Amino acid sequence: MKKLCLAALALSFALAPMTVKKTAAEELTSCKAAYLCDCGSGVCAYRENETERLPIASMCKIMTLLLCFEEVEGGTLSYDEEIVVSDSAAGMGGSQVFLGSGLSYRAEELMKTIAVCSANDSCVAMAERIAGSESLFVEKMNARAKELGAENTLFANCTGLPKEPQYSCAKDVALMLRELLSHPKYFEFSKVWLEDFAHPDGRTTSITNTNKLIRFYEGCDGGKTGFTGQAGFCLAATAKRGDTRLISVVIGAESSDKRFQSVKNLFNYAFATYESRKIVEAGKPLETKLDVRGGKQKQISVCAERDLSIFCKRGEEVNATAELTLEKGAKAPLAEGAAVGEAILYRDGVEVARCRLLAAEPAEKFSYGDAFREIAGAW
């Protein structure tokens, strides 16, 4: 592999965590725990009891949804698959969409109701389809949490309904939501405000998004609420303005209004104080070229699969470098979009993000006909 380094930006940065202390003059939240971070890099901008183990109610459905999307991505589930609802799924209490036992529903529609109206019956129907039973699905939830590094999380069911032992923390919820947001299809569900859900037997259930911020806060386009008497009012949400996407989590607010206001306060603070500086732009051909053997072209352009940005305070000087590693001995033919290397973003010498480098154009194979025409042209 060939390594190349982009010029460092003239800037310097302190490695201390970006943490804001809550003072009497500045009450950002009124909750048991909170966490605010940049979605792209995961850099923290505010924390409060962020690793305290607490019940999180329906926010555990973030993991339920994540496993659903990963099943689709892995090819073991399709959005169009018809899923037959069991008696146990149809009989779930709490928030639900009133699925009919024995009726079949498209997986996509069930996933949408989980994202929009926190449907417990849809959660169990999907869990039974994916793992065979809710208990086996919960094992998958806990295994995935460990893979993500959620060290203070234990699931007992796929709905968040009270059951011991189960807990998570504000930091882990943000970690799980960040992973869920990597699936673009999620936003098709999370931005729905009000919609009619049609049942196969002709009934219709109106579903309304439990996350009020998608309608009443600029840039908010996803998230998950939660409430039980034990957990209090909880909310994990994401919002994007310009190139900056944030994730905010609050646990244990005293009222629904206070959870929404706390998340708004965190978003307002971060959007006013921080920014994302794009170092490498997705899809834009880089100056560095990939050498290609056996192609009509000796070199082709490459681009980053996604943006690589630095999350920092506005006006702060930052030392950032992007290291590009390209394949050696790449051979034609290469399709446009083929993976040909990797870009790693460093901040003050510490890795903060990485992504694949892709061929920005195709590399066609040099044929005998091309060789003949080349020779003929030289005569």
The catalytically annotated residue of 41, 58, 122, 168 is 58
In the chain, CATH 3.40.710.10 sits at 33-253
Interval 220-247 mean pLDDT: 97
- Contact at 8 Å (CB) between 90 and 100? yes
Q: What is the pLDDT of residue 367?
A: 60
The residues with which 33 forms a beta bridge, in sequence order, are 251
The first and second tokens of residue 16, run together, are 């201390």
Q: What is the pLDDT of residue 30?
A: 86
Nearest to 308 by CA among 286, 280, 341, 288: 280
For the domain spanning 33-253, the CATH number is 3.40.710.10
- Contact at 8 Å (CB) between 60 and 34? no
Residue 61 annotated as catalytic: yes
Q: What is the pLDDT of residue 11?
A: 33
- Contact at 8 Å (CB) between 347 and 319? yes
Quick: pLDDT tens for 75-93: 999 999 999 999 999 999 8
**Taking the model in full, what pTM does it have?**
0.85
When the pLDDT of each residue in the chain is averaged and rounded to a whole number, the result is 90
Higher pLDDT, 365 or 45: 45
Q: How far apart are the first and last CA of the chain?
A: 39
The catalytically annotated residue of 95, 118, 262, 309 is 118
Q: What is the pLDDT of residue 23?
A: 41
In the chain, CATH 2.60.410.10 sits at 2-12+279-368
Does the bond joining 333 to the residue before it have cis omega, within 30 degrees of 0? yes
- What's the CA gap between 195 and 193, in Å, rounded? 7
44-48, 128-132, 315-319: least confidently modelled range: 315-319
Quick: pLDDT tens for 14-34: 333 444 444 432 468 889 999
240-244, 251-255, 352-356, 369-373: least confidently modelled range: 369-373
- What's the CA gap between 359 and 59, in Å, rounded? 39
Of the CATH numbers 2.60.410.10, 3.90.1170.50, 3.10.105.10, 3.40.710.10, which one belongs to the domain with range 2-12+279-368? 2.60.410.10
pLDDT band at 4 (very low <50, low <70, confident <90, very high): low
Interval 350-371 mean pLDDT: 81
Q: What is the pLDDT of residue 2?
A: 53
The first and second tokens of residue 252, run together, are 């244990």
pLDDT exceeds 90 at position 329: no
Q: What is the pLDDT of residue 373?
A: 52
pLDDT exceeds 50 at position 376: no
Percentage of the chain with pLDDT > 90? Answer: 80
Q: What is the pLDDT of residue 20?
A: 47
Higher pLDDT, 146 or 298: 146
Residue 58 annotated as catalytic: yes
Q: What is the pLDDT of residue 295?
A: 82
pLDDT band at 379 (very low <50, low <70, confident <90, very high): low
pLDDT exceeds 90 at position 377: no
Interval 127-140 mean pLDDT: 98
- What's the CA gap between 166 and 54, in Å, rounded? 8
The catalytically annotated residue of 32, 41, 61, 171 is 61
Quick: pLDDT tens for 331-342: 899 999 999 999
